[in-house]
Structures are given as C-alpha cells and as structure tokens.
Amino acid sequence: MSPQSERRERAETSAVRGFLSRFAADPRHFQISVLGTLLVVGIARLGFPVDASDVAAAMASALATELLVARLRGKLFDPRSPFISSLSLSLLLRASSPWVYAFAGAAAIGGKALLRVRGKHLYNPAALGIAAAVLLTDRAWISPGQWGSGPLLLFLFACAGGMVVHRALRSDVSWIFLVSYAALALGRAAWLGDPWVVPLHGLQSGAFLLFAFFMVSDPKTTPDARPARIGYAICVAGGAAWVHFGLHQPNGFLWSLLALAPIVPLLDLLAPGARYRWGQRPGSPTHPPIPTVNPRERNPAMTPNPANAAAAAVTRTASSAPRRVAAATLFCITALLALVASRADAFCGFYVAKADTQLFNRASQVVLVRDGERTVVTMASDYQGDPEEFALVVPVPSVLSREQIHVAEQAVIDHLDAYTAPRLVEYHDPDPCMRYELRRMKASATPLPESVSELGSLGGADLGVRIEAKYTVGEYDILILSAEQSDGLETWLRRSGYRIPDGASRVLGSYLRQGMRFFVAKVNLEQQRSLGVVNLRPIQMAFETPKFGLPIRLGTVNSSGTQEMFVYTLTRRGRVETVNYRTVRLPTDAEIPPFVEQRFGDFYRDLFDRQVEENRRGVFLEYAWDMAWCDPCAADPLSVSELRDLGVFWIDDPGFAPSRQGSQARDVFVTRLHVRYDGEHFPEDLRFQETADRSNFQGRFVMRQPWTGSPSACPAAREYFRGLRERQEREAQTLARLTGWDLADIRAQIPGLGARSEEEPDVPWWKRLWPGDRGR
C-alpha cells in the first residue's frame, strides 16, 4: 500500500471515529433509540391503541414546525428534537383522531420556539404538547395505567433511562425526583398504616418511571446549577404527590412539571451555572465549567483587577445560592407534606358477619354514574350466608342525608349486564353455487354466577363509635357512623357480635385516619316482610367526591381466594379506564367452532381464566359503547327511565336529547370492566378516569355454520370444502389458544375435521392437474 493510500485510510478511519464519538456524545441519539424501542414494545406487546397514522401525524407535524422555525430564524434544521417530542407524545398521549397528534406535535415544537426566557425554552416540549391536546381539545387523554407495574419494569426502565440521563448529565434530577416522591409515598403509607406494598405498587408504574427518566430530566428545561436542580426535582415530586393524594387526580407528574416550570429561570438567577449544550461535557472548550474560585479571588485587596472582582461577585452568588435554594426547597416540602396528608375520599366496602359464619364475597356488581364530581353508586353483591347474619360496611366521604340513599331494583342491573355482556355471533356460509347469502346473527350473553345476597342484623352497642345519622330505607336500616379511634369501628362490630376478618383492622385504620365516616346497612326483617321483598335489592348512594375509584382493598380481607367484580360505568364523555392498573381489552372477533354455542359459558370462563394468567394485574375491558344503540344487541339498550333509576342525573337536563326512537338515551356512554382481584396482585384501590374515547368495543366471538350441500354440486362447492377444512383447523387452534382446551378434543367435536369426505378423496395435487391422463 502506498503512503498516500495509508494516509487516506487513516484519515477515513479518523473521520469515522470522530463521527462515532460525536454521535455517542449526544444523548439525544440514545434517547431516540430507547423511546422508539419502548413504543414498538408498547404497541406490539402491550397493545397500545396507537396506529401508524397517529405516530406519523405527530412526527410530520413536529418536523414541519421545526423546519418552519429554523427557516424563520435562519438556523440549520435539526430533526432530533422533533423526533424525541413526537415519540414521547406517541408513548403518553391518546387521542381519537390523528389530527390531535398532529396538533400536539405542532404545539410541542411551536411552544418550544415561542416560550423562551433568556435563550432557554421554558417548558418540556412533549409535556407542553400533551397538555395542549388535553386542555384545548375534547378528544385527547393520558393513559398512565397502560404500562402496568412490576419489578421487571422498574429494572428495565432504570437501566435504559439511567443510561440516557447519565449521558445527558441530568441523572441527579431523575434520582432525586424518584427518591423524593418515594419518600412522600412511603411516609404517607406509614402515617395511614398501609402496608408497604401499597405505595410500592405505584412506584413501579411504567408511566411514573417514563416521566422520571425522560421528561423531568430534560437538560434544556431544568436548572443549570446542581443545587437548583436538586431543589427543583424535590418540588416537582412534592407537587405530583399533592395532585395524586390531595386532589385525587391522575397524571400529577405532568401537571406538577408544567406548573413549576416557570420557576426554573428564577432558580437560574439564584444559582447560576453553566448552560447545557447538546453533545458537550463540562470542561470542554465550548462548554465552560461551573465557575469556581480560589482564596485569592475572594479577597479584593489581593486581586484588585476588575475582572477578578466580577469573578468574585459571581462566586458570592454561586456560594450563597445553595442556601437560598435549600431554604426555598424546605418551604416547598413543608407545604406539600401538609397537603399530601389531607383527607381522601373512598367508596365501597366489605361484608361482616357474626362469629362462626363463613363469608364469601366472590362476585359483585357495581354501577358507577359519574359526571364531574357528582357520583351515584349502585352496589349489588352475591353475599352467601344467613340473611340474619349480614351487615354492609362502606366508608363514605361525609354524612349522607336520607335523600342521598336509595334502593334500586336488581332487574335494571340485570338488564345492563345482559346489554354489555360478551356475545356470540352466528353466521351461515352461503351456498357457493347460488352465490347468495343468508345471514343470521345471534347474541348470547354470558351469565354471571348465580348468587344470593343475604343480609343480617347488626348489634347496637356503641363503644367508641358515634351514630351520626339513622334511617330506614326500603328493607334496610342505615347507620352513619364516625369513630375517633383507629379501632373504634372494629370494637363496635366485635362487641355487637360480629367477627371482623383477619387483616381488616389495618385497612379500617387507614380510612379512619383520613376522617372517613362509615355507612352501615342491616336488614330490617319486619320491613322486608311488609314490602314483600324476597331477594335483597341493591343499595344506591349519591354524593360528590373528587376521587373516582373503588377501594377493593376492603374486599380482600373477607374473601377466600380471588374475587370477581363487574364494574359498569355510565358517563357523558367516553370510555372509562383504570389509571393505576392496566386496562386490557379482551380478545374479540375471534372465529371459533360452532359447537361452542352449547358451551359458551364454559368457553368464556376458561378464556377469562387464561387472560388473567397472562395479565394478573389487569382490569379487562369487555364492552364500551354509546347507550343509544348496539350492533349486534345481546339485549335492548336501557331506556331513559331505567337510566334514571340507575342515577343518570343529566338526562333531566334541558339539553339532554333522547335517540330518534325516543326510548333510548343519547349522551350516555357505558363501559363494562371485569376484574379478578386479590390482595397480592391488587394492593391498591382501583382508580378510574373518564377518557375522550368514544370508539365502540365489544367482546364478540364469531361462529360460522358450514354450508350443508354436497361437494359435487358444482366446482365452486369443491373449492369451498377445501377451504372449509382449513378454516375449521384455524378455528380449532384459535379455540385451543384462547381457552387452553386440548386441541385433539376440539378437533374430535368438529364434524369432518381430520377426515376426508367420501365424495372427495385425498388426491395429491399433481393428479388434479391432468385428470384425463388417469389410467393411461
């Protein structure tokens, strides 16, 4: 090799190494890689409801806005920031239309260009774009529960996110934020007497970790100096805790970050530091280090040079900055701790019975009607036991008046259950010779396990418990109790002859420390006989509360094993989902063999068992639909009068309009959620949010009845039967995959599968090419 070639090769090698070094030095490249990988995993593995068109709309809008800003400012176009913002939007934002993603992308990059202070953009672009879409449109929301939670998720996020924030020189922000929020959550749990598993569940949430490593640690929107960054991270953590625990609202991390972003310029003034530049590390020639001084510079007499005097002024500012930041941070923490320890509202409860009575609270139905903070709750349980040994205990946010309590009819809930139940749809294959189609659809509701709700009497001793109110409603005697001591309610129930399940006192103590009242219902046997009521009816309560959820922890203390709960929500805006657990859509539109029609109940139970095994911490979406119609209908939609009976209060508003038929209601969206829970996998109460998603979903399974003609009827019939066997094999494998049933047993129940018809022997394909040559 000639010297000239060697020099050229060394120059090329040096250029490649230089490019790779610069590429590795810029943390944005790692961030794009990690965010892109998370998005692919979320869509492919976790079923994120994000289409390629949504991601493309966000990216195209962000890139176009960045290009426009670069042209207007006369700067080079850099696509990396738009890529990061659009990927973050796609991970966190959910919307019903691609144009909402496009709007969010434009708002993210446009806000970054317009909202600037001293050459530094004020808000994290992705956070600003998400907030703009949620607040300025009625078609966007955030789904914090989509990632689920768990130790493995914590480990993966910590590894991937830790690498990114380390290269961005902002690992201090992420870890201080994590530690601060964890301290607040664990401290609150200790004060309430909750087990550690309750706050740890939230700390392992994927949405929480995504925010900690990829949003709050943005080096361009965090303070320049480390002391200021530490104080800022603590304040953001405290603000998020206040939103979650004080205001009972989801997505507190995002709102806290946006609310506190304007203090970053102030912190930069109080504690000046070196401005971060992408791809550069402290100490590089173009990235000067944080100013430091020696003793000579601190003495003006020793260094009368004006330049040294200016440096000393900067030094005094920098040295006093930590004290000022620490004082501001201490004030922030003190205020936020007081807010975090505020009251919390809760609903739902557990059932208690006298000694020697076994309790089984395995399946229950809850209807939640919600608009704003106005809430109507209808409870129907399958308590199994002696009616005389029953009492219902429910924590409530305040003392309820007589007019806030009602008794509903079980028939209305049964109608709602039938309307929203998973269904089987039947089609008939058309005659391939006649080319006509006869189509019949049949919906089969999945029945809930039969149950007997039985209530009993409760003793009247008042030891440490105050009776705030007393009513008789229908067949129930209602007491509203308050207790000043943590064991007051437990003592009252035990002295009255009722056995409290093991572990109940700790859960009760958590609510008692929050100043909750307790709703206690027992059966008035004389009133029951006079009313002619055989089966106990559901109880309804109406109240206002900022918290949208169900405290299922109370239900785990008196149940052997797991429990089933069906939650039906009736809202105005759209679908309801859980924010602290994954909302998992059931498999739908799967084609299964026709013989399943006779075993649909077994099929669905086994399918649900398998889904629970794969998603032990999942809450399953079985139905989401506009109440005005259905297709196919397992039952007719509820009438306006039935909705009114369930507590849909806005149907009496002047602007409410029924459907064209006049019997069904518009502006009512129903969501059916099914959860199988226990204390191990569901340590936290369920928390819900209403989304802007009005897309329809139903758990639907399809069976196609084969055509019963002869393969020799026409050439098309022969081809039909060849395809029929392939389809039946697919249906058999689908059924085995969904339920875990034995594939051989499934095939044996499908007529003709695995055996050839006598009229169509198993002929190799090549013999069908030249049938006239046979016998020559």
Categorize the per-residue pLDDT at 653 as very low, low, confident or very high, splitting at 50, 70 and 90: confident
Q: What is the DSSP string of 601-623?
A: HHHHHHHHHHHHHH-TTEEEEEE
Q: What is the pLDDT of residues 524-541, one digit of tens each?
A: 777 877 887 777 789 999
Residue 325: pLDDT over 50: no
Q: Which residue has the higher pLDDT, 661 or 415?
A: 415
3-state secondary structure of 526: helix
Rounded to an integer, what distance in angstroms lies between the CA atom of residue 573 and that of residue 667?
8
Q: What is the helix, strand, coil percentage profile of the chain, to 5?
A: 45, 20, 35
Q: Is residue 454 part of a domain?
A: yes
Domain boundary among 677, 700, 723: 700
DSSP 764: -
Tell which residue, 625, 649, 689, 619, has the closest CA to residue 377.
649
Query: 368 and 232, same structural domain?
Result: no
Rounded to an integer, what distance in angstroms lies between the CA atom of residue 252 and that of residue 242?
8
**What integer pLDDT is reported at residue 352 of this predicted model?**
41
Query: 356 and 236, same structural domain?
Result: no
Rg (CA), the chain: 32
Q: Is residue 283 part of a domain?
A: no
Query: 180 and 70, same structural domain?
Result: yes
Taken in order 723, 726, 727, 728, the sign of the CA dihedral is: positive
Q: Is residue 362 part of a domain?
A: yes
Q: Is residue 733 part of a domain?
A: yes
3-state secondary structure of 404: helix
Residue 440: pLDDT over 50: no
Domain boundary among 230, 246, 272: 272
Tell which residue, 606, 573, 574, has the closest CA to residue 587.
606
Q: Which residue has the higher pLDDT, 730 or 336?
A: 730
For 545-677, strand residue ranges (E) read 549-550, 563-571, 576-578, 582-585, 590-591, 618-626, 669-677
Query: 450 and 561, same structural domain?
Result: yes
Query: 253 and 375, same structural domain?
Result: no
The boundaries of the domain holding residue 536 are 350-700
Q: Is residue 139 part of a domain?
A: yes
Q: What is the DSSP string of 585-606?
A: EPP-SEE--GGGGGGHHHHHHH
Q: Is residue 483 part of a domain?
A: yes
Q: What is the pLDDT of residues 2-46, one digit of tens each?
A: 667 666 666 666 655 655 566 666 778 888 888 888 888 888 888
227 neighbors 272 (Cβ within 8 angstroms): no
Query: 736 and 667, same structural domain?
Result: no
In Å, the largest CA–CA distance within the chain is: 120
Q: Which residue has the higher pLDDT, 538 or 312?
A: 538
In degrees, to the nearest 5, what angle opens at C-alpha 237 toward C-alphas 232 and 239? 95
Q: What is the pLDDT of residues 335-345, one digit of tens each?
A: 444 444 444 44
588 neighbors 698 (Cβ within 8 angstroms): yes
In degrees, to the nearest 5, what angle opens at C-alpha 617 toward C-alphas 615 and 619? 85
Categorize the per-residue pLDDT at 510 as very low, low, confident or very high, splitting at 50, 70 and 90: confident
Rounded to an integer, what distance in angstroms lies between the CA atom of residue 97 and that of residue 136?
14
Tokens of 336: 């936020």
**What integer pLDDT is reported at residue 693 of this predicted model?**
93
Tokens of 752: 């003709």
Q: Is residue 390 part of a domain?
A: yes
233 neighbors 333 (Cβ within 8 angstroms): no
Rounded to an integer, what distance in angstroms lies between the CA atom of residue 417 and that of residue 645?
15
Who contacts 23 (Cβ-Cβ below 8 Å, separation ≥6)? 29
637 neighbors 630 (Cβ within 8 angstroms): yes
**What integer pLDDT is reported at residue 276 of this predicted model?**
81
Residue 580: pLDDT over 50: yes
3-state secondary structure of 255: helix
Query: 543 and 692, same structural domain?
Result: yes
Element (H, E) at 320: helix 306-340
The mean of the pLDDT values for the chain is 78
Tell which residue, 757, 660, 666, 665, has the closest CA to residue 718.
757
Residue 700: pLDDT over 80: yes
Query: 606 and 745, same structural domain?
Result: no
Most confident of the following: 101-105, 343-347, 749-753: 101-105
Q: Which residue has the higher pLDDT, 183 or 459?
A: 183
**What integer pLDDT is reported at residue 697 of this predicted model?**
93
Inter-axis angle of helices 252-260 and 206-214, to 10 degrees?
Answer: 20
Tell which residue, 451, 426, 453, has the closest CA to residue 439.
426
| Residue 22: CB atoms within 10 Å | 11
**What integer pLDDT is reported at residue 354 of this predicted model?**
31
Categorize the per-residue pLDDT at 714 as very low, low, confident or very high, splitting at 50, 70 and 90: confident
Q: What is the pLDDT of residues 111-125, one digit of tens each?
A: 999 999 988 889 999
**What integer pLDDT is reported at residue 310 of this predicted model?**
42
Q: Which residue has the higher pLDDT, 704 or 281?
A: 704
| Average confidence (pLDDT) over 461-489 | 77
pTM score, whole prediction = 0.79
Query: 726 and 620, same structural domain?
Result: no
| Average confidence (pLDDT) over 423-448 | 59
Q: Which residue has the higher pLDDT, 594 or 433?
A: 594
The sheet that has 576-578: what strands, in order across it? Answer: 549-550, 686-690, 576-578
Tokens of 168: 């961005």
Per DSSP bridges, beta strands 618-626 and 582-585 are: parallel
**What integer pLDDT is reported at residue 282 of this predicted model?**
45
| Average confidence (pLDDT) over 667-677 | 93
Query: 748 and 627, same structural domain?
Result: no
Residue 567: pLDDT over 90: yes
Categorize the per-residue pLDDT at 107 as very low, low, confident or very high, splitting at 50, 70 and 90: very high
Query: 410 and 543, same structural domain?
Result: yes
Residue 136: pLDDT over 90: yes
Tell which residue, 620, 690, 665, has the closest CA to residue 422.
620
Domain boundary among 244, 272, 300: 272
Measured CA to CA in angstroms, residue 191 lies from 174, 398, 509, 512, 596 at distances of 26, 21, 10, 11, 53
Tokens of 417: 């259950």
Inter-axis angle of helices 27-44 and 80-92, to 10 degrees?
Answer: 30
Q: What is the pLDDT of residues 182-203, one digit of tens each?
A: 999 999 999 888 888 888 888 8
Query: 422 and 360, same structural domain?
Result: yes
Number of domains in the chain: 3
Rounded to an integer, what distance in angstroms lies between the CA atom of residue 451 and that of residue 420?
19
| Average confidence (pLDDT) over 564-580 | 94
228 neighbors 268 (Cβ within 8 angstroms): yes
Q: What is the pLDDT of residues 397-424, one digit of tens each?
A: 888 889 999 999 989 999 999 999 998 8
**What integer pLDDT is reported at residue 525 of this predicted model?**
77
Q: Is residue 509 part of a domain?
A: yes
321 neighbors 314 (Cβ within 8 angstroms): no
Q: What is the pLDDT of residues 587-640, one digit of tens each?
A: 999 999 999 988 888 899 999 999 999 998 999 999 999 988 888 788 889 999
